[in-house]
Amino acid sequence: MQVSVESVGNLERRVILSLPAGDIDDQVGGRLREIARTVRIKGFRPGKVPAKVVEQRFGGQVRAEILDGLLRKGMDQAVRENELRIAGAPEISQSDEAAEGELKYVAAIELVPDFGELDMAKLEVVRHTAEVTDEDIERMLGNLRQQRASWTKVERAAKAGDLANLETASTIDGQRMPAEGVEKTSTVLGSGGMYPEVESAIVGMQPGEDKTIDVTLPADWHMPQFAGKTVTSTFKLVDLAEQVLPEVDAAFIRSFGVKSGDLEQFKSEIRSNLQRELKGALMNRLRREVGEQLVEAYKDVELPPRVVENEANALLANATEQARRQGQQVGAGVDAFREAARKRVLVALLVAEVARRNELRLDPARLNETMQLIASTYEQPQQVIDLYRNDPQLMQGLQNRVMEEQVIDWIAERATHTEQALSFQEAIGQ
C-alpha cells in the first residue's frame, strides 16, 4: 500500500491510499476458502459448499471487512509517519483516478489546532459549593409524600390545594366553545393550571355551584384571532377532592425499597441520593464556568471547519427532535447553531489537549461513582448498571463524560478561582 498526505489548508489534509487490487482479491479468496471449510448451508454437506455459493453469500461482506482493515492500517500509517493529530472522523471516498489494477481512496481529515501555551492559571473560575441540610431532607420527604398522596371527595367550599373537577363553556366574539355541550377539565387550585382569575373565582364555590366570569386573554394567546380579547366563561364545580398525604410509617418507607422500614435509615438514603444529585449539579455548573473561561481565553484559535459544521448539524437535529416531541417546529436553520457548535468544539478540543499534555488518565473509581449516580435515578438501578456494562457504546460515552469531568476539575484546581456558597435548591436549579 502506498500512502501520501497533501495539505489543503491550515487544518485540512488529504490522505491518498493506493492499494493493488490483486492483493485484495487474494485476501478475499483466502478468507472465502476458510469459510467454505466450516460453513453450514442447508442443502450442502459441511466442507462441500461450492465456491460460487460461498462467494455469493459472503463475498461482499468479506471484501468490505478486508478493505476496511486495509484502509484503517493505511490511515494509522499516515498518522504515525506524519505525526498527525486528527480532529473528528475522516471522510473516506473512492477515487476514480486509480491506475489499472489499482484501487485508490482519498481520506479528507482535519487536524487539532495548535493552542500554544496552555496556562490554566490565567482563567478566573467561580467554584460553587453547597451541602445537603436536614431541611432539604425534610423537603424531599414531603415531596415523596406528595407523590404517594391520594384524593378524597369532600362536600365543602373549595380552597387552595383542592382538586376541582369542572365543566366549562366559554363565549368570545359571539362564538361558543365548545359549540355544543361542555368541556370537562380538572385542576389543583393554586397550581397555576388555570388563570389566576379563574382559580380565585373557584375558591369558595360549593360542589354543584355555577359561576360566570370574564377573563382577558394574553396578547400571545395560542389562537391569534382571540389574543387580547375578553372571554366569558361559565364554570360548574362538579365535585371536589382534598389531598390526603400518607403517614411516614414502615409500610410507606418499605415502598421505596428500604426493607427495614426504619425512618432514620430512610433519611440516610435520601441524604445520599441528594448528595449524589448535588455533586452532579455542581459539576454541571463547574463545566459551564470552565467552558466559558476557555472559550474566552482561546476564542481566536482557528478550528477545523467540518468538525464545527457537523456539530452544528447535530445540534439542529437534536433541537428538531425535541421540538417534534413537543408538537412544535424549529424555525431556525443550521446557521443559528454554528456559534454554539464552535464553542462546544473548542472546549472539547481544549479539554482533550489538556489531558494529552498532562497525561491524565480515566479514574475507574470516578467512573463507577458516576454510573451509580445515573442508576440511582431509576427504579431498577442494577438493571441500568448492567446495561452500561454490557453495551460498549454506552460505556464509551460514559467514559468520555467522566474523563471530561476529571479534566474540568484539574483545570479548575489550577485556575484562579473563588468560591461561592449556594443552598441545595439554588445549586440544583442550574
Is residue 314 exposed (0-12), middle (13-18) or buried (19+ Cβ within 10 Å)?
middle
**pTM for the whole structure:** 0.74
Q: Rounded to whole angstroms, how far apart are CA atoms 32 and 253?
A: 63
Q: Domain map of the chain by residue range?
A: 2-111, 120-136+253-428, 150-244
Neighbours of 173 (CB within 10 A): 9
Which of the following CATH numbers is that of domain 150-244: 3.30.930.10, 3.40.50.1700, 3.10.50.40, 3.40.1110.10? Answer: 3.10.50.40
**pLDDT value, residue 329:** 78
272: part of which helix (H) or strand (E)?
A: helix 263-297
Question: What superfamily does domain 120-136+253-428 belong to in CATH?
Answer: Trigger factor, C-terminal domain (1.10.3120.10)
Within 10 angstroms of residue 199's Cβ, the number of other Cβ atoms is 19
Per-residue pLDDT of the chain (430 residues; tens, 9 = 90+): 888 999 988 999 999 999 888 888 899 899 988 888 888 888 888 778 888 888 888 899 999 999 999 999 999 999 999 999 999 889 999 888 878 888 899 999 999 999 999 999 999 999 999 999 999 999 999 999 999 999 999 999 999 999 999 999 999 888 888 888 899 999 999 988 888 888 899 999 999 999 999 988 888 777 788 888 888 999 999 999 999 999 999 999 999 888 999 999 999 999 988 998 898 899 999 999 999 999 999 999 999 999 999 999 999 999 888 888 887 777 788 899 999 999 999 999 999 999 999 999 999 999 998 898 788 778 788 999 999 999 999 999 999 999 999 999 999 999 998 899 999 999 998 5
CA distance 198 to 186: 12
Question: What is the grid cell recorded at 307?
Answer: 468538525
pLDDT for res 174: 84
Cell match 485556575: residue? Answer: 415
The DSSP output letter for 43 is: T
Give kind and range of the element (H or E) at residue 363.
none
Q: What is the pLDDT of residue 263?
A: 95
- Say which residues have a Cβ less than 8 Å from residue 109's Cβ, sequence separation at least 6: 12, 13, 14, 15, 84, 86, 88, 90, 91
In CATH terms, the superfamily for domain 2-111 is Trigger factor ribosome-binding domain (3.30.70.1050)
Query: Which pLDDT value is given to residue 430?
Result: 57
Phi–psi pair at 357, nearest 5 degrees: -65, -30
